Amino acid sequence: MVLPRVPGYPEGMADIFDVLADGTRRELLHRLLESSHRGVAPDGEISVGELVTELGISQPTVSKHLKVLRDHGLVTVREEGQHRYYHLDPGPLDEVSDWLSPFLDIQIEGDAHSASTVYAAWAGSEVGDKMGRVAADTAHNARVALEAAQEKIQGAQKRVAEKLPFKKGS
């Protein structure tokens, strides 16, 4: 089911929050970001094997999460024989940043730097993880509520139609 588009809310934004809500995917993105800053590999690429070793989780799990990230345009892959090398694509994250920036620029109690300070404090804690989960849960709950409402409306329409006398010729 596709929810109606909200004005000012970029297409696919709810999906990107669902993707980012998962801690393993955020950790993969972080590792890819570090790889691009280290400049050790060409174009900041890192192999699936290296990610498995660094994260200490199974190769199928890493591959599953990389597929989700790839499907949402957050990473690109280069194949070389049987090896896959991943690279961070920050484009979708730029959209998220652009969308979030007005919220981060809000002045708190007249202090222009308070929002930035609060955000910086969150960056080192688990608040980002919790915020991602809350955003994903909220999006999911909204979809479920909308689907339930649509089912109730359809049921009511059916009951009303059954009670109306059938007119010939219509």
Q: What is the pLDDT of residues 137-160, one digit of tens each?
A: 676 777 777 777 888 888 788 888
pLDDT reading at 133 higher than 50? yes
Query: What is the per-residue pLDDT for 2?
Result: 41
Rounded mean pLDDT, 82-90? 90
pLDDT digits (tens, 9 = 90+) for 93-105: 888 888 888 877 6
Helix (H) or strand (E) holding 123: helix 114-123
Rounded mean pLDDT, 28-42? 78
DSSP reduced 3-state for 90: coil
Rounded mean pLDDT, 25-31? 91
What does the CA dihedral 137, 142, 145, 150 come to, rounded to 10 degrees?
A: -140
8-to-11, 13, 112, 161 alpha-carbon distances in Å: 9, 11, 24, 38
Gap between the terminal Cα atoms of the chain: 32
> How confident is residue 9, by pLDDT bands cut at 50, 70 and 90?
very low
Q: Which residues contact 45 (CB under 8 A, 6 or more apart)?
A: 35, 78, 85, 86, 87
DSSP reduced 3-state for 108: strand
> How confident is residue 66, by pLDDT bands cut at 50, 70 and 90?
very high
According to CATH, what is the number of the domain 13-91?
A: 1.10.10.10
Of 50-54, 58-62, 129-133, 154-158, the range with the lowest mean pLDDT is 129-133
Question: Could you tell me where in the chain the CATH 1.10.10.10 domains are found?
Answer: 13-91
What does the CA dihedral 140, 70, 100, 2 come to, rounded to 10 degrees?
A: -40
pLDDT reading at 63 higher than 90? yes
Q: Which of 74, 78, 72 is nearest to 91 (CA)?
A: 74
